[in-house]
Structure 1
Amino acid sequence: MSYAVLLLPLLVAAAVCTVVGIRRDRRGWAALAVALGAVLALTVAFDSLMIAIDLFRYDEALLLGPRLGLAPVEDLGYAGIAVLIVVALWRLLPARSRAAAGGSDD
């Protein structure tokens, strides 16, 4: 099983949850785009660094082939899933009020 086949169902599920969470909120989509861009850029930079210093290796037979820096494109899937899940949870879980969280009304 390739890394892409492993990632695809998780990526689709995370994307569906995110779409449900921020349906018509333009600011939500903009924030998602900024967060996703930042996390993906950091993923490319730091994964390339870790691969360059030989912290880990991939089975080349399980990769799609394209790379950004030294990082295979599949690595971006993991970071994308993380961002999408955090955004979906942020939007779908109810916010706790200050009183319920134990805060004071100073």
Structure 2
Amino acid sequence: MTYALLAVLVTAGALAVAVVAAVVRGLGARWWATVALTAAVLIVLTIVFDSLMIAADLFRYGEDELLGPVIWLAPVEDLAWPVVAALLLPGLWALAAPKESTP
């Protein structure tokens, strides 16, 4: 299995959780905007710190498992994980929160 396929599968699952949370809990545009902003910040941090770690030769990727495009030194497949975190964690948090009682 390639990194890209794994990233697509996990991202699809995280997106499904986020959509279910948004529908079940009635989360609106503000919640989605917060998720998008969080994802953007995490993507930038991932690019910077992955690139620094790759430049320091702390780890390597199997070249035959990657799509090829990189941003700085970070492979594009690596950018799925901050998106997964930004979708999955708030989605699970929203689903785990107790329902508000109506008077």
Q: TM-score, normalised by structure 2?
A: 0.86
* Runs of 4+ residues over 2 Å off in structure 1: none
Give unmatched runs, 5+ long, in structure 2: none
How many angstroms apart in 1 are the aligned matches of 2:54 and 2:85? 21
Q: Deviations over 1:2-50 (max 9, x none)?
A: 1011222111010011112124511101101110000010000000000
Match of 1:91 in 2: 94
Of structures 1 and 2, the one scoring higher in RCO (CA 8 A, sep 6+) is: 2
Q: TM-score, normalised by structure 1?
A: 0.84
Q: Match for 1:6: what amino acid? A: L
RMSD over aligned Cα, in angstroms? 1.5
Aligned pair count reads 96
Give unmatched runs, 5+ long, in structure 1: 97-106
Match of 2:10 in 1: 10
How many angstroms apart in 2 are the aligned matches of 1:92 and 1:9? 21
Larger Rg: 1
* Higher helix content, 1 or 2: 2
Match of 2:52 in 1: 49
Q: Secondary structure at the match of 2:52?
A: helix
Match of 1:59 in 2: 62
Percent identity (aligned): 44
CA contact (8 A) 2:55 2:73 kept: yes
